[in-house]
Amino acid sequence: MSQPAGPRPPGTLVTGDAVPLDLRLAALPSRAVARLVDALAQGGLLLGLVLLVTLTAGAASDAVSAALGILVLVLVLLAYPITFETLLRGRTPGKAAMGLRVVRDDGGPIGFRQALVRGLAVLVDLPTVFTVSVVCMLLHPRGKRLGDLLAGTVVLQERVAASGGVVAVMPPPLEGWARTLELSGLPDDLALQVRSFVSRAGELTPQAREDLGGRLVAAVQSVTAPPPPPGTPGWAYLSAVLAERRRRDSQRLAGPAARPQQTQPPAAPPVGTGGAPAHGAPPEDPPPPGPFALPS
């Protein structure tokens, strides 16, 4: 970046390319509610396992019963968050209910190692009734609890930008193509990075915009289909993907009654004589999305 280094806002994540992304940090109340939901789920799971152990090991010795009880407690307290955060890419049922996700400090998805470190932090949280983590969250500028500090993670509010910015809009020439997109493979964490990039593209230097934009285009194209029309600029491609994703999410929330009736797809561009593309039609071999020069 051409600007001098300096203190960054609390909600800023820095990618591996040293490009800052503004994302909304999860607030303490929402994290507390998510923890309560998980605690209720863990309590129900613990009760069920205790009843199962009691019925199956009723004739066992006291030592065996105590060992089974400790094993069940460890499974519920540790295996629950570690398993969910690993398999659901930074979410537990409670976090999913509150729209929260754990990511690395650079904005990438967490793995088993980060989930394990965060899970083991409960061994400090429980004896102190989570006092240590609450104090850490209140004092840390990014709201990190003890597990986040040890694992190098941060908890975000999903699908919400930290600050105002340019909202991704659908470029009219791409509207018909966007409705054919397969978006089920686009993960939320990647969509968050793309949204922040689109909203802040005008603030980046041309080189930073080109480098990060090219990486995001490649990442999005690897999990979506079909590819964009030939000659599509990178900024237009990413904006169209986000706008179509938002349209489908809003449509699902509105229910079947608000869904428009199926219409015929737009006709293919005319082809000139001799098999050559007519004026304005795409070439036979589509080039990749173009540079990230912003529209005037």
Per-residue pLDDT at 61: 66
Q: How far is CA 1 from CA 18, 207, 209, in A?
A: 8, 9, 10
Q: Is 141 helix (H, G, I), strand (E, B) or coil?
A: coil
Per-residue pLDDT at 159: 54
Per-residue pLDDT at 92: 95
Q: How far is CA 268 from CA 115, 176, 229, in A?
A: 49, 11, 12
Beta-carbon contacts of residue 157 (< 8 Å; ≥ 6 apart): 24, 25, 26, 27, 30, 99, 100
Dist. CA 99–CA 36, nearest whole Å: 14
DSSP 8-state class, residue 25: E
Per-residue pLDDT at 41: 93
Per-residue pLDDT at 113: 94
Per-10-residue mean pLDDT, the chain, length 296: 42 46 77 94 89 72 74 88 93 92 84 94 85 90 92 82 59 92 88 83 80 91 92 89 86 58 46 37 41 43
Per-residue pLDDT at 221: 93
Per-residue pLDDT at 4: 39
Q: How far is CA 140 from CA 28, 32, 226, 253, in A?
A: 12, 16, 43, 35
Q: How far is CA 91 from CA 36, 120, 242, 265, in A?
A: 14, 16, 22, 38
Report pTM.
0.53
Per-residue pLDDT at 144: 93
